[in-house]
């Protein structure tokens, strides 16, 4: 009997999916979204998120709500306890109901070995961005938790803590997700003066005008200067020269921008006219506040809009895949690049007359400069073939293409 039981136990262990065993600290295990539900402790608002139908709060935030929160490096544990000496709670008027952020991606949940305890008992916790989140429901251990769909609120009531008068949260219409749209190509390098090239972010190296494909490892502002001895580090300016495509890409990008703005996104374009041709360094600078490559990126994603050539038919995204080492990207960067491209392409092929090219994904081009330079997930679209019968669709349906791009981005942000 004993033998059978241990064999069964061994079988049960093997049934744990392989990826659970292979999880490393920092690997993504889920996604946290901004919550649209007003959340309170004793009617004092607290910022909230959700994931998989669970309302979440930051464990560290509980400090302001009558709890002590202590980090123990030895135990790799966060201890949350009711602080009976806490006499009052400061109402945080900065907490509002964000109309445009609600339901959109906020953070990745990553695998961690940190534990969280509430009054000495372990609680389910999720690691995000250097902080721990717990379920609002966990507070049932110290109080009561109520949900009201009618009032769109989640409330915790804890005895012994001061209580405020309930008031619905003020609406925040200012906070938005920022998306960068990049209409590929631009003015031909043959008609750019040296001054124009320089101010567009290109350098003149031994191989002529161009730019470095990579940032220095772990950087997002210092050029690699030839890091890989692959003869691939230099991207010549002429590689981006096209004649018809700049106009098509800009038209699609402008149509997508209008739709995204209708949907409550903030949009930055990397170029707004066809007489400019920014370098990739200049293009990805739109992922940062004030185009400052040394700041923390504030865009959620980057979408590069191209159209294909070579006489084929249909729309596809270019798959990511390579040794990306730039600063800010996380362990799910490649996966997110593909997911973004796939979400957009799914909408384009479903909602326009363009068919699907190459199963929707163009592989083998993960070396593209954009994937190496973007600090945020990048979707790389090749929307139809401008030198085939697709051209008529591209010209007649650019507004539908713009809508499909916007909806695809929204799918990525909300699914
Ligand atoms: Zn390099
Ligand atoms: Zn192109």
- Do residues 158 and 209 both lie within one domain? no
Count how many residues are written for the chain.
Answer: 415
Average pLDDT for residues 374-398, to the nearest whole number? Answer: 98
Q: What is the pLDDT of residue 125?
A: 97
Question: pLDDT (tens digit, 9 = 90+) per residue, 189-198?
Answer: 999 999 999 9
* β-strand partners of 155: 40, 146
Edge-to-edge order in the sheet of strand 44-45 = 44-45, 38-41, 153-157, 144-148
- Do residues 329 and 215 both lie within one domain? yes
- Do residues 191 and 130 both lie within one domain? no
Q: What is the percent of the chain with per-residue pLDDT over 70, rounded to a whole number?
A: 94
Gap from CA of 383 to ligand 1 centroid (Å): 29
- Do residues 369 and 221 both lie within one domain? yes
* β-strand partners of 147: 154
Gap from CA of 230 to ligand 1 centroid (Å): 8
Is residue 188 one of the residues assigned to a domain?
A: yes
The CATH number that applies at residue 265 is 3.40.630.40
The ligand whose atoms approach the alpha carbon of 235 most closely is 1
Question: pLDDT (tens digit, 9 = 90+) per residue, 89-132?
Answer: 888 989 999 999 999 999 999 999 999 999 999 999 999 988 99
Predicted confidence (pLDDT) at residue 398 exceeds the cutoff of 80: yes
- Do residues 114 and 246 both lie within one domain? no
Q: What is the pLDDT of residue 21?
A: 59
Gap from CA of 60 to ligand 1 centroid (Å): 40
Q: What is the pLDDT of residue 231?
A: 53
Domain that holds residue 62: 23-172
Is residue 71 one of the residues assigned to a domain?
A: yes
Q: Which of 141, 172, 203 is the last residue of a domain?
A: 172
Is residue 121 one of the residues assigned to a domain?
A: yes
CA dihedral 303, 109, 33, 376 (to 10 degrees): -20
Q: What is the pLDDT of residue 11?
A: 39
pTM (2 d.p.):
0.92
42 CB-contact burial (10 Å; exposed 0-12 / middle 13-18 / buried 19+): buried
Question: pLDDT (tens digit, 9 = 90+) per residue, 328-360?
Answer: 999 999 999 999 999 999 999 999 999 999 999
Nearest alpha-carbon partner for 364 in 304, 332, 322? 322
- Do residues 164 and 252 both lie within one domain? no
Q: Which of 133, 151, 172 is the last residue of a domain?
A: 172
Q: What are phi and psi of 49, to 5 degrees?
A: -135, 175
Give the residue ranges of DSSP H helices in 163-244.
194-199
Q: Which of 156, 172, 188 is the last residue of a domain?
A: 172
* Contact (CB, 8 A) for 371 and 306: no
Strand pairing class (38-41; 266-269): unpaired
Predicted confidence (pLDDT) at residue 280 exceeds the cutoff of 50: yes
* Contact (CB, 8 A) for 381 and 306: yes
Is residue 374 one of the residues assigned to a domain?
A: yes
The ligand whose atoms approach the alpha carbon of 214 most closely is 1
Is residue 63 one of the residues assigned to a domain?
A: yes
The ligand whose atoms approach the alpha carbon of 240 most closely is 2
Is residue 15 one of the residues assigned to a domain?
A: no
- Do residues 98 and 140 both lie within one domain? yes
Q: Cβ–Cβ contacts within 10 Å for residue 242, how many?
A: 17
Distance, CA of 297 to CA of 287 (rounded, Å): 5
Confidence of residue 230 (pLDDT cuts 50, 70, 90): low
Gap from CA of 321 to ligand 2 centroid (Å): 19
C-alpha atoms less than 13 angstroms from C-alpha of 283 in its C-beta half-sphere: 28
Give me 240's structure tokens. Answer: 């981006």
Gap from CA of 247 to ligand 2 centroid (Å): 11
Distance, CA of 186 to CA of 271 (rounded, Å): 8
- Do residues 266 and 391 both lie within one domain? yes
Gap from CA of 330 to ligand 1 centroid (Å): 20
- Do residues 183 and 267 both lie within one domain? yes
- Do residues 333 and 253 both lie within one domain? yes
Higher per-residue pLDDT: 150 or 22: 150
Average pLDDT, the chain: 93
What are the residues whose beta carbons fall under 8 Å from the beta carbon of 33, sequence distance 6 or more? 49, 50, 51, 103, 104, 105, 106, 414
- Do residues 359 and 408 both lie within one domain? yes
Gap from CA of 277 to ligand 1 centroid (Å): 22
Higher per-residue pLDDT: 19 or 271: 271
Distance, CA of 189 to CA of 17 (rounded, Å): 52
Q: What is the pLDDT of residue 5?
A: 40
List the beta strands (DSSP E) in 217-353: 234-236, 266-269, 301-308, 315-318
- Do residues 223 and 133 both lie within one domain? no
Gap from CA of 239 to ligand 1 centroid (Å): 17
Is residue 1 one of the residues assigned to a domain?
A: no
Gap from CA of 139 to ligand 1 centroid (Å): 50
Question: pLDDT (tens digit, 9 = 90+) per residue, 4-28?
Answer: 444 434 333 434 444 455 788 889 9
Q: What is the pLDDT of residue 3?
A: 40
Average pLDDT for residues 142-167, to the nearest whole number? Answer: 94
Gap from CA of 161 to ligand 1 centroid (Å): 58
* For ion ligand 2, residues whose CB falls within 5 Å: 184, 306
Predicted confidence (pLDDT) at residue 227 exceeds the cutoff of 60: yes
Nearest alpha-carbon partner for 178 in 91, 56, 64, 270? 270
Average pLDDT for residues 307-327, to the nearest whole number? Answer: 96
Number of domains in the chain: 2
* β-strand partners of 110: 28, 127
Distance, CA of 256 to CA of 318 (rounded, Å): 19
As a 3-state breakdown, the chain gives helix, strand, coil percent values, each rounded to 5, of 30, 30, 40
Q: What is the pLDDT of residue 407?
A: 98
Is residue 6 one of the residues assigned to a domain?
A: no
Q: What is the pLDDT of residue 232?
A: 82
* Contact (CB, 8 A) for 278 and 201: yes
Strand pairing class (67-72; 105-110): unpaired
DSSP state of 110: E
């Amino acid at each position: 009997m004993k033998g059978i039981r241990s064999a069964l136990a061994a079988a049960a262990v093997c049934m744990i999916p392989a990826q659970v065993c292979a999880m490393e600290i920092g690997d993504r295990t889920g996604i946290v979204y901004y919550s649209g539900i007003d959340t309170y402790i004793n009617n004092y608002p607290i910022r909230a998120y959700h994931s998989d139908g669970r309302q979440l709060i930051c464990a560290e935030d509980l400090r302001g709500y009558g709890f002590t929160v202590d980090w123990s490096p030895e135990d790799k544990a966060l201890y949350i306890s009711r602080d009976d000496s806490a006499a009052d709670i400061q109402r945080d008027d900065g907490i509002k109901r964000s109309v445009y952020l609600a339901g959109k991606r906020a953070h990745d949940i990553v695998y961690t070995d940190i534990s969280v305890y509430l009054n000495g008992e372990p609680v389910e916790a999720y690691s995000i961005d250097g902080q721990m989140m717990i379920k609002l429901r966990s507070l049932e251990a110290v109080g009561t938790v109520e949900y009201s769909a009618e009032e769109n609120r989640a409330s915790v009531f804890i005895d012994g803590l001061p209580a405020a008068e309930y008031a619905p949260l003020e609406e925040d219409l200012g906070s938005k997700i920022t998306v960068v749209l990049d209409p590929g190509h631009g003015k031909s390098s043959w008609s750019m003066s040296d001054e124009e090239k320089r101010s567009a972010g290109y350098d003149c190296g031994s191989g002529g005008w161009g730019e470095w494909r990579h940032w220095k490892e772990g950087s997002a502002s210092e050029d690699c200067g030839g890091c890989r001895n692959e003869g691939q580090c230099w991207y010549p300016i002429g590689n981006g020269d096209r004649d018809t495509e700049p106009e098509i890409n800009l038209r699609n990008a402008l149509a997508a921008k209008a739709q995204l703005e209708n949907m409550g996104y903030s949009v930055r374009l990397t170029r707004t006219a066809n007489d400019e041709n920014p370098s990739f360094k200049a293009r990805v600078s739109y992922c940062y506040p004030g185009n400052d490559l040394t700041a923390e990126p504030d865009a959620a994603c980057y979408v590069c809009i191209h159209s294909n050539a070579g006489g084929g038919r249909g729309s596809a995204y270019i798959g990511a895949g390579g040794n990306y080492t730039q600063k800010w990207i996380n362990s799910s960067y490649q996966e997110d690049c593909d997911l973004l491209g796939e979400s957009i392409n799914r909408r384009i092929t479903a909602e326009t007359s363009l068919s699907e090219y190459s199963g929707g994904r163009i592989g083998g081009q993960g070396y593209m400069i954009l994937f190496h330079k973007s600090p945020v997930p990048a979707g790389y679209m090749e929307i139809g073939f401008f030198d085939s019968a697709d051209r008529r669709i591209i010209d007649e349906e650019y507004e539908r293409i713009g809508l499909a791009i916007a909806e695809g981005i929204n799918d990525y942000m909300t699914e």
